Structure 1
């Protein structure tokens, strides 16, 4: 059996988990044990027959849907070993992989103006990656702490997510009325999706990174058509690509750790 038995150290809480706990009707209850935890990491407790590349005691992050449990049984092909530089540190690999893959599909370029709507875990990673690439990042979110964090990780401008027209006016001022080359919607709600359509420039790209799960959405298709925008639904469903996003995040973390040690 090409599986490892992992002792779970921790699991992130994804916004997509919350409706299950709220009792929303599109789920089946009771949920399976450990469900819907999918941002887990832990230590290999045992390996099945034929498993290579993993040994007892290895720290791993993994793709699973039952990581809200003390132990999880994971296919070897769905686990990624964590380097020693991450010893003792929490590393929810699934959202890290998600963030890197969304960033890749966004095709952000140096010098572009990029609006990130929603500065949670994913939004902050987008902000840091885009800023490091030389994009002019505008972070738009509700919480002051998140605005401060976005600024810390490279946002050139921060805007409070409060009033629809005020935000549009502010972005028009920042972009000289041109709009944003890329708008990343990372909330999963209707209003920010409406706002994203307003902020994206003609021939720009609207990237849907938020997980929209509570029913159909309405979009201003006339506006989208007229602007000639590209729309990217950026959630990755290929496990191999997902895992490569996780590995890319680990590689970057290693470089950051190495640079910190040098300095």
Structure 2
């Protein structure tokens, strides 16, 4: 079978196609024929050598994908041949708190990922794909969608009538927009592009703020919310935007720290967290339990992921470069069939 691996070099130029035997599923494992995969910014950082954890190479990248079960090992009870399944990012976090997750079991690093014709998964590390989604749509769920769901629903307990601030228009933020709207909450979106803000409004955003024209965008958030602030923040900017997220939050608001697209350096004043009694939490994607709950909601609400563009999986290097440019709206998918 064809497999794409990261070898010596830098960035997308490290990707090479190699031939490997089709693996045989062992006890409680399933073999899937890959139908589609999807990119996350984590994948770009791993390829560029800038991710916070270094992995051994060669490495098969990508944690997010969907495939058809074509063979099962002994004692498999969760799936049958012919089932369409999504991978889970955490291979060993079925449910409960993050204490239950095992850091050494993450797809796409350190465990080999899904950028291949076939892949083997532990049956406990997969979920049935939502029936209302295409292969590419379902492939986008394991990291970005689960992260947004885990932040707002599993941990955040979002309620109708609350207000969410979603930073940017990448995968996590747009999934957050969709889940918040499905929960009856209002959403404010920030972006440097008026065109993207208009597209976010078409998805149901209540208001949009261009942060280039409004560098102190937290003031605009407070104006929109009549001084109250927002109940939930999807914080993907990192330390550079965190101070404004604090200012934009309501008392007892929740800030979900997810990314650091604005950089990793910066100062945070803990006194402001104390005085506003804001809850700050890191969101490390989410458990399989969160994934399965989210999939039920996706089917019930007929929610559809936002796909900016699709590529052939053999053109993965082009997709990596496109994502790194940062001009996308939503997710990038790779077609394997």
TM score, norm. by length of structure 1: 0.83
Are 1:6 and 2:54 matched, yes or no? no
- String of CA shifts for 1:66-86, please: whole Å, max 9, x gaps: 112222110011111235443
Which residue of structure 2 lines up, in the alignment, with residue 208 of structure 1? 257
**Of 133, 138, 142, which aligns to 1:86?**
133
- String of CA shifts for 1:36-89, please: whole Å, max 9, x gaps: x11111111221111123233321111233112222110011111235443555
1:1-150 aligned within 5 A: 1-24=27-50, 26-28=52-54, 31-35=57-61, 37-63=62-88, 64-65=107-108, 66-82=113-129, 84-86=131-133, 88-92=135-139, 93-95=141-143, 96-104=145-153, 105-150=155-200
In structure 2, the CA distance between the partners of 1:111 and 1:118, relative to structure 1 (3 Å rule), is same
Which residue of structure 1 lines up, in the alignment, with residue 275 of structure 2? 226
**Structure 1 residue matching 2:138: 3-state secondary structure:** coil
Structural RMSD (CA) = 2.7
Where does structure 1 lack aligned partners over 5 or more consecutive residues?
Answer: 259-263
Which residue of structure 2 lines up, in the alignment, with residue 152 of structure 1? 202
In structure 2, the CA distance between the partners of 1:101 and 1:74, relative to structure 1 (3 Å rule), is same
Which residue of structure 2 lines up, in the alignment, with residue 261 of structure 1? none
* Contact 1:16 1:211 (C-alpha < 8 Å) held by counterparts: no
Shift of residue 257 of structure 1? 4.4
Are 1:180 and 2:227 matched, yes or no? no
**Structure 2 residue matching 1:235: 3-state secondary structure:** coil
Are 1:249 and 2:310 matched, yes or no? no
Shift of residue 177 of structure 1? 2.3
In structure 2, the CA distance between the partners of 1:109 and 1:24, relative to structure 1 (3 Å rule), is same
Which structure's relative contact order is higher, taking Cα pairs within 8 Å and 6+ residues apart? 2
**How many equivalent pairs are there?**
252
TM score, norm. by length of structure 2: 0.66
Where does structure 2 lack aligned partners over 5 or more consecutive residues?
Answer: 1-26, 89-106, 304-337
In structure 2, the CA distance between the partners of 1:99 and 1:183, relative to structure 1 (3 Å rule), is closer
In structure 2, the CA distance between the partners of 1:203 and 1:156, relative to structure 1 (3 Å rule), is same
In structure 2, the CA distance between the partners of 1:220 and 1:252, relative to structure 1 (3 Å rule), is same
Q: Which structure has greater helix proportion?
A: 1
In structure 2, the CA distance between the partners of 1:216 and 1:159, relative to structure 1 (3 Å rule), is closer
Shift of residue 235 of structure 1? 2.3
7-16 or 158-167: which moved more? Answer: 158-167
* Contact 1:41 1:90 (C-alpha < 8 Å) held by counterparts: no
Q: Distance in 2 between matches of 1:133 and 1:84?
A: 21
142-151 or 44-53: which moved more? Answer: 142-151
**Structure 2 residue matching 1:91: 3-state secondary structure:** helix
